[in-house]
A and B are shown apart, each in its own frame.
Chain A
Amino acid sequence: MDIHEYQAKELFRDSGIPVPPGDVATTPDQAEKIAAGYGGSVVVKAQVHTGGRGKAGGVKLADSAAEAREHASRILGMSIKDLTVQKVLVTPAEDIESEAYVGVLIDRATQAPMFMVSPEGGVDIEEVAATNPEAIRKLRVDPRYGLLPHQAYGLATFLYEDPKLVKQATRIMGQLYRAFTDNACSLAEINPLIVTPGGEVKAIDAKVSIDESALFRLPEVAEFRDLDAEPASETKAREAGLSFVKLDGDVGCCVNGAGLAMATMDLVKYYGGQPANFLDIGGSSNPDKVVAALEIITADPNVKAILFNIFGGITRCDDVANGIVEAARRIDIKPPIVIRLTGTNEEEALQILEEAGFSAFTSMDEVVEKAVELAAQA
């Protein structure tokens, strides 16, 4: 789960990382008031779950409260990579002597948290990694012992020479690691970590992703979820226990299992169509889930045909069949539905569907070809 910069900064502040103050505005009026409260120059920053906000014009320096208002009115409502900006963070502008990068992520290859630090901050770290890899220092943290003091010091000395700065940065490394583990992050990034002319080290931007699996024990962090930042269909899917990602095509897909769901989408493309979504109904055999899935898929006006691909293992085919019949009774489904069911209780499922007037396939290729054909005809 991605969280906003202002939320990430709250987590960082709680861990003791020096972060400048800031407040969130949803209207230009509010932005002006916040700016006036700080006095002097402020930065108005779009709060959306994507990088490249600066390039898109979503981060602006304002020398007065009136100018902050102007910037906010332009930024609020603007679209950055298809995401509409609904909040801005207003924060006092800082004078910057230097910018560094500090990040922690879960490294799959070494199966542990990994620090990445670079004295070249304020830019995309992937770019630095590609053009100037020597400017990045990586450190695998042994998850059993955490970040050890000499390791934190080693990272800090890669960024700074001045002992006063090294001391501050060493402390920040430890605080960031604690924020990362306490909040079950998959990524926690400070970019940039700045040095002010007065010699203070501060985090002026923050990016954090939280592991969804840990939210059950982090109620305060779970509250950070911004329902406005995701399509309504994805919220509904999550509440129904479905895994769903909206795409741009016209063939709605309903599949059990993530791997098979992806393979089904790929096969739609192979036969010349475009999938409208990724949807995994999971391993359970609950007809209500199938109803919810069909409600979500049919709510997308682009969908011209709906495709079911079910390989019954734990999932029982007859339960899915009952769900389809039940959904057809409860909601008005306009696009044609094609169904492939095979595995556990396949016979019963085929009978249920036949009696309700649906026809079913047992081959994955056949059903996908048929769905693509129907979508093209519509």
Chain B
Amino acid sequence: MSTAVADKRPSSTLRGASLPKWSPYAIAVGSVAVAAGIGLAAGLDSRIQWGLIAAILFVLGTYVISARVEGRRQAKDRVATSLVWVAFLLALLPLVSLVWTTVSRGVKVLDVYFLTHSMGLISDTEPGGGIYHAIIGSLEQVGLATVIAAPIGVLTAIYLVEYGRGNLARSVTFFVDVMTGIPSIVAGLFILSIMLMFDMQPFGFAGSLALAILMMPVVVRSTEEMLKLVPNELREASLALGVPKWRTILKVVLPTSIGGITTGIMLAVARIAGETAPVLLLVWGNSLINSNPFEGAQQSLPLYIYQQYQNSQGSGAAYDRAWAAALTLIAFVMILNLVARGIARWKAPKTGR
């Protein structure tokens, strides 16, 4: 372990020599340079391959150099550190690429015309057209789903936190957890099987029901967490003043946690707004504006993206429209997320702990 180093510092067995602070950067620069050299020499076109070679060289180089100077334990530590960094950078790669692609492709046709016109009278290969009908459909379906799922979800969470005892509460908790993992397409098939039974044609509200099923458990979980953060002292103070329990919940517990609950609901909305599968099964899609969610096929943003992609074979006007709609959808979801988190920070419950 301590060969060349030991004679310099014989007294210290706990800490051997250490590499200077800049050594990781030096090794990184060195390995990138060597990787670029190998890449040029071997004629590798893909920059990703260069990056991979650099990453491998970096980890190996760190281990060898550190093992020689500092000993095996320190070397392992450094390798772990560099592996963790490499994993992080590696994961960043597709995610940055995803955002960049969506934005750069999406801005091509995204303008006011695109947002305010439908696809009526426009065939898939023609340029023009827009997503107005899809936005209307999405807003209506997601809105109706929220109207159904939010009250049920919040009430269930209240039951679990404020009243829940015994077997019923335990099984509700368990099945809420399990329900979180239901694939969206299964929720769609469930509503579809009911519709088949009554021989119904596709319509927007059916999609809302499936989305509501997907949304409920998410709302329950987040609301539950928020209600648990409300300090018991508040409840006890209210009850001690003779306030009935239901008024305590409505006037003390809910107002204290309303910020977090709103955040949870908005995050759940953001999640279901991007669901394609149930809408594909239940709402079918429509190139015309249909603002009645209770009758006739409707369009929705994610479904629009899928259909335009399917019709385009990877190029042309429909493909551009798919990306523009994807950018709109991502922007919508991201704004919802940001606002939700803003509310959470602004109205964070004062836990007193």
Q: Do A and B bind each other?
A: no
Interface residues of chain B, those whose CB is within 8 Å of chain A, are none
Interface residues of chain A, those whose CB is within 8 Å of chain B, are none
